[in-house]
Amino acid sequence: MKQILPDEQAMAVFGAQLAQALRGGGVVFLVGDLGMGKTTLSRGILRGCGHAGSVKSPTYTLVEPYETPQGPVFHFDLYRLSDPEELEYLGIRDYFTEKSLCLVEWPDKGAGMLPAADMEIRLSLHGQGRELTLTAQTPKGQVMVDRLKD
Ligand code: ADP
Ligand code: MG
């Protein structure tokens, strides 16, 4: 599934719609270069989950936890991770639970230590805006994509 998002506002709105499809939790990989809108989309998803407060980029903390009306959400940014093994010290197993929604920016940096993604979202430049490509990678991810089409 592809979507053109002409500006930041459109990205946030799409994220909020996506939140409905992600209810129940799962693992979402956010792939794209710096500045492609991964954090903006995550912010939209958190809004859609009913989170009213601010959403900081987890660039330095690696992970920001949220308790939302739609359940626990963990927002990762692994850009600064030097070794996937470091995720062990972060207590990675406690985050990827059945009910939690895990949004992971720079998943490649955690290769070998992360569970498989239910959904992968790729972001790239499209004029002034962005192109988003969304693919289901598990049956659970397929359920999410089907919900988006309703
Ligand atoms: P990333 O987390 O991928 O590094 P950010 O979410 O921090 O990227 O966004 C970087 C910049 O891109 C921000 O200034 C944001 O306003 C802008 N941006 C986000 N989504 C879009 C979009 N769909 N079109 C144009 N600009 C966008
Ligand atoms: Mg970011």
For the cut 90, the answer to whether the pLDDT of residue 68 exceeds it is yes
Mean pLDDT, rounded, for 24-43 = 98
| % of the chain surpassing 90 pLDDT | 91
Indicate which ligand has the atom closest to the C-alpha of 59.
2
Encoded amino acid at 108, one letter:
D
Ligand 1 pocket (Cβ < 6 Å) reads 5, 7-8, 10-11, 32, 34-40, 105, 128-130
pTM above 0.95? yes
Please report the domains of the chain, with CATH numbers, ordered by start residue: 2-149 (3.40.50.300)
21 CA from centroid of ligand 2 (Å) = 22
Ligand nearest to the CA of 41: 1
Q: Which ligand 1 atom minimizes the distance to the CA of 11?
A: 23
How far is CA 129 from each of CA 24, 33, 36, 77, 124, rounded to the nearest angstrom?
Answer: 30, 14, 9, 22, 9
Tell me the ipTM for this assembly. 0.99
Average pLDDT over all residues of the chain:
96
Region 12-33: what's the mean pLDDT?
97
- In this predicted model, what pLDDT tens digit does every residue of 85-137 receive, in sequence order? 999 988 888 999 999 999 999 999 999 999 999 999 999 999 999 999 999 99
Ligand 1, atom nearest to 12 Cα: 20
pLDDT at 76: 97
**Average of per-residue pLDDT across 8-21:** 98
Is 62 buried (19+), middle (13-18) or exposed (0-12) by CB count in 10 A? buried
**Res 150 pLDDT > 80:** no
Give the HSE-up count for residue 141: Cα atoms under 13 Å, Cβ half-sphere. 16
Which of 33, 36, 105 to mutate to test ligand 1, by most ligand atoms within 8 A of the CB atom?
Answer: 36
Helical residues (DSSP H) of the chain, grouped into ranges: 8-21, 38-48, 86-89, 92-95, 139-149
Place of tokens 């197993």: 93
Ligand nearest to the CA of 127: 1
Q: Determine the distance separating the centroid of ligand 2 and the alpha carbon of 15, expressed in angstroms.
A: 14
